[in-house]
Amino acid sequence: MRIMPTYFEKKQLVTPGELLAEGDYLAGENTYLEDKKIYAARIGLADVDNKKVNVVALRAFYIPKMGDIVIGTITEVGFNGWSVDIKSPYTALLRASDVLSRPFKPQNDELSQVLNAGDLIVAKIASYDRAHDPQLTVGEPGLGKITRGQIMRVTPTKIPRVIGRKGSMISTIKQETGCQIILGLNGVILVTGKTPEDEELAMMAIRKIEEESHTSGLTDRITQLLKEEKAKREENKIE
């Protein structure tokens, strides 16, 4: 059997260009293969998962992927659609025919009355490849114009942490605050609650997750934090 060394410890902080492994390994996320050697391509934490060497990036930006749910801002109303800023290097396009769900006639429909510049939407990436800008779709339940709630941004790489293992983190926050939360994979989060106070509470929890995303036992700490904050607010109300 051939020797297949790796040159890092689990969760070691690595810099771009650092040699990670040699031989019979696969280059996973944020790594690259050259001369049968695997190097890191971003600053992050290295890990091996079943022969696949990955680096969990500490800094990254959002690159669209088909099927991703994202939250974006309308930046421009065009002739047959809208340009949408999805906090990515690429501007997304939303076609008029997709929103109107009937054939679009420029002479009958005034697009800015449906969605205007500055409006926020929840959408799904319908298509994207390196030659074309991403296309969005809102033709599914839960997608479309955002009418109420608050928006916040986190680093896109932290979204999985906000979701938690099997969604444990996000369901905790939803339960404790009674808020609806939509996570855009582009790092934009929509929080909708019954009162602005509930929304503030949920946003505070999410901000804490972003700051401490690399620590363990976070779900429990968040639960506790939310309970304490709620108790505090109850007291204030009585006074």
| Residues in contact with 56: Cβ distance below 8 Å, sequence separation at least 6, in sequence order | 29, 30, 44, 45, 47, 157
What is the rounded CA–CA span in Å between residue 206 and residue 159? 10
Give how many residues touch other proteins by CB under 8 A.
Answer: 31
**Residue 90 binds other proteins (CB under 8 A):** yes
Task: By CB under 8 A, name the one of 1, 3, 131, 238 that touches other proteins.
Answer: 131
CB 101 within 8 A of CB 91: no
CA distance 185 to 39: 26
Residue 89's CB is within 10 A of a number of other CB atoms, namely 9
Question: Does position 5 bind other proteins by CB under 8 A?
Answer: no
Separation between Cα atoms, residue 220 and residue 26, nearest integer Å: 35
Which one of the spans 71-79, 85-93, 190-198, 200-208 is the region binding other proteins (CB under 8 A)?
Answer: 85-93
- Per rule CB under 8 A, is residue 18 in the interface with other proteins? yes
Of the two residues 44 and 184, which places its CB atom closer to other proteins in the complex? 44
Nearer to other proteins by C-beta: 47 or 176?
47
Q: What H or E segment, with its residue span, contains residue 113?
A: helix 111-114
Among the listed ranges 32-40, 108-116, 172-180, 186-194, the one in contact with other proteins (CB under 8 A) is 32-40
Tell me: does residue 48 bind other proteins (CB under 8 A): no
- Smaller CB separation from other proteins, 23 or 61: 61
Nearer to other proteins, 27 or 121 (CB): 27
| Binding flag, residue 89, other proteins (CB under 8 A) | yes
**208 interacts with other proteins by CB under 8 A:** no
- Are 92 and 76 in contact by the 8 Å Cβ rule? The answer is no
> What percent of the residues of the chain are helix, what percent strand, and what percent coil, each to the nearest 5?
30, 35, 40
In the complex, which residues of this chain contact other proteins (CB under 8 A)? Answer: 11-13, 15-19, 30, 32, 34, 39, 41-43, 45, 57-61, 63, 89-91, 130-131, 212, 214-216
